Chains A and B, each alone.
Chain A
């Protein structure tokens, strides 16, 4: 996947993570948003026994948008881990994003929040299914 030029224009800093390094840590309060510039990233969530991989993300994908869009909480509900080698990510300009998000009309914000909530619930549901299968 190519990197969207509009998204790239928000990158203020690039960071490289070695293989298996944690880019986003579940449970931590942080609402930074990243874009994957190079490499693969696994999205994982803790269950009582180990971790479940929820998604494999590739170059060009935005990371960390859930905690950002769920502005009331801003707590990471999943982890993002470098997979199959080192990963280079671009950190998006948080101040600019917050400024842009403030311009979103209230009813659309309501829809976005509902979407994020549903995504969090879907992640948990999948974890339950996997935990139940073990």
Chain B
């Protein structure tokens, strides 16, 4: 961020009023002001496709807009903000704080930066998971209406390995059912002991669909439980990455 030290008088703090529903900050816009809520409530949200995904609801005394200020590399807004109720905000121009920011000990800057990056990643993850959940709800509804069957019961052997693992070794599992958004995979608990299968853990999975179509995707664990067969572990997974070709092959396979 360009923060020139100057002897100019710092810009004054101004108060602005927003009506309920009014947009205060737009994601990806250039913006550097910091806002403190005096009265009212502010919704922080992001977009997934054309859907809005709520990230946080902020109350009087709370601050927003600080992420673009604290971030070293970007002045672009990482999320949007709108007035959830009629709100009065105090707007701080970053010049007010630039000298104070420059005087921050480097180690504290570094630690703050890591917390900031983690928050950006968490917000992205929340957006991804929320929109996926909604997609599943919608496809579930379509299933109930009997128009199409998106999830197919199968019994297909697959191989998998954890994303980010240095070992190239692959383990065996069985895909029990599969849809366009996820799959249910059973693995032997004995084999399973090598890795953890907590919600959020990601795996590369290879599978041959009937008709000898080889497909590859990465999927994230959403839940794990023991099925009726003892010694097995059943993983509910959602796809996190899939090539277009795979998507087509899978879509074709899933057609009723």
Contacts and interface: CB of A to CB of B under 8 A. Distances in A.
Task: Tell whether A and B belong to one assembly.
Answer: yes
Interface of A: 4, 6-7, 10, 33, 40, 42, 44, 50-56, 61-62, 65-66, 68-69, 83-84, 97, 100-101, 103-105, 107-108, 110-112, 114-119, 121-123, 125-126, 129-130, 132-134
27 contacts: A6-B110, A40-B164, A52-B198, A54-B122, A84-B195, A100-B107, A100-B108, A103-B103, A104-B104, A105-B97, A112-B108, A112-B112, A114-B64, A115-B66, A115-B67, A117-B62, A118-B56, A122-B56, A122-B119, A122-B123, A125-B126, A126-B129, A129-B130, A130-B200, A130-B222, A133-B129, A133-B222
B107 A125 contact: no
Contacts of A123: 122
Contact of A107 (B100, B106, B199): B100
Interface string B105-116: 111101110111
Contacts of B201: 53
A69 B111 contact: yes
Instruction: For chain B, give the interface size range.
Output: 35 or more
Contacts of B196: 42, 53, 83
A59 to B, nearest CB: 12
Contact of B105 (A52, A103, A130): A103
B63 interface: yes
Most A C-beta atoms less than 10 A away, residue of B96, B101, B105, B165 = B105
Contact of A42 (B122, B166, B198): B198
